[in-house]
Amino acid sequence: MPRAEARAIRHGFPWVYANELVLDRRTKALAPGTLAVLEDAERRPMGLVAVNPLSKIAARMLDRAPDATIDEAWFEARLTRALAHRARLYEAPFYRLVHAEADGLPGVVIDRFGGAAVIQPNAAWADRRLPELVAALQRVTGVTTVLKSATGRTRALEGLDAEGGVLAGERPGGPVAVPMNGARYMADLAGGQKTGLFYDQRPNHAFAAGLARGGRVLDVFAHVGGFGLAALAAGAESALAVDGSAAALGLARAGAEESGLAARFETREGDAFEVMAALGEEGETFDLVVCDPPAFAPAKPALEAGLRAYERVARLAAGLVAEGGYLVLCSCSHAADLARFRNASARGIGKAGRRGPLVHTGFAGPDHPLLPQLAESGYLKALVFRL
């Protein structure tokens, strides 16, 4: 591979793109997930990689040792290191256990829910080695139930199917209660979105909840009630959760019941843009408004349209914030970096005729470590404005 790209790999960049590799006919015919030794232009080995000729990411670095053996013991070593970090962070076993490249398991996400875990094997090499990964996971953590989540665009980009299921133990009989920030959230591990719950927002839930004490809260794109339930647990007067998914709102209501917060919690099903517009026409205002939408710009081709959508969210939401209240705007788009997202949000707030400083910028929690060489791993942004 070219010298510049080889230098980046030696300095810790974990991916090799297809246009950076010299692939002959035999290499192009390799099965996705095949292991190979990556060499530089002088044929010096740089490490053991997983190859996928079907993906734009043609190779992912697995181990800097070219002679490494990818077996249960190899998985155990990485899982043990990942677990040690989370055990220092949280008393209860509810967290993201593995965050892909940053934890040395490229393309692999594992969320833990007490005695159960959900794996997202978003790279072909991991999909092929699930038996070893599951065995190591059970041995290191003691979980008895392991599920596979196969949803999301990443697997499609790797040429993988969308078939999830039970990898070990039995399918949970219902939602799992997850304690977090003083509330209890209900996670549907088998049929919910991705792994069933978004742990990445935990510190942003906590920060926003501290601003909501004694006030009215609007939680838009609420999913299972992330911001709203945390705010109620911190002493908010009331919370209204808005989402287009009846199933997600059902889980949010169940979480409110489980947390003893149902009397102060309401839901409203519908398109978020339409509901915010309707609330504005009704003259409603809230002391804290939170918008945590899905990724409007998951990739570069969608960037401009995504930024316009974030601007529209900010404009509609800003008009619902009471004077002196707070607006929290979130983005989980890889393609929209912090500066672009912040500028789109500020434009939207300005178009609503509102003004106010940015008082806090939040990111994913420490169980979602960021690989410094890989900017894409810093996907989550949360902006807090006082209007």
Average pLDDT (81-95) is 97
Question: Is the model's pLDDT at 95 over the cut of 90?
Answer: yes
E-strand stretches of 197-343: 216-220, 238-243, 265-269, 286-291, 321-331
Question: Is the model's pLDDT at 4 over the cut of 70?
Answer: no
pLDDT band at 3 (very low <50, low <70, confident <90, very high): low
Angstrom distance (rounded) from CA 323 to CA 383: 18
Q: Which of 303, 332, 384, 387 is catalytic?
A: 332
Angstrom distance (rounded) from CA 82 to CA 75: 11
Question: Is the model's pLDDT at 1 over the cut of 70?
Answer: no
Task: State the sign of the Cα–Cα–Cα–Cα dihedral 275, 226, 218, 237.
Answer: positive
Question: Is the model's pLDDT at 247 over the cut of 90?
Answer: yes
Angstrom distance (rounded) from CA 142 to CA 156: 31
Nearest Cα neighbor of 121 from 84, 81, 165 is 165
Q: Which of 116-130, 138-152, 154-168 has the lowest mean pLDDT?
A: 154-168
Q: What is the pLDDT of residues 179-230, one digit of tens each?
A: 999 999 999 998 877 788 999 999 999 999 999 999 999 999 999 999 999 9
Residue 95 half-sphere exposure toward CB, CA atoms < 13 A: 23
Full set of structural domains in the chain with CATH: 3-63 (2.30.130.10), 72-168 (3.30.750.80), 177-386 (3.40.50.150)
Average pLDDT (313-326) is 98
End-to-end Cα, the chain, rounded Å: 52
The residue assigned the tokens 């510049």 is 4
Active site residue 291: no
Average pLDDT (370-376) is 85
Q: What is the pLDDT of residue 2?
A: 59
Q: Does an H or E element contain 35, and which?
A: strand 34-39
Question: Is the model's pLDDT at 375 over the cut of 80?
Answer: no
Angstrom distance (rounded) from CA 134 to CA 75: 9
Nearest Cα neighbor of 381 from 365, 361, 367, 366 is 361
Q: What is the pLDDT of residue 326?
A: 98
Which pTM does this prediction carry?
0.94
Q: Which two tokens stand for residue 49?
A: 């990689």
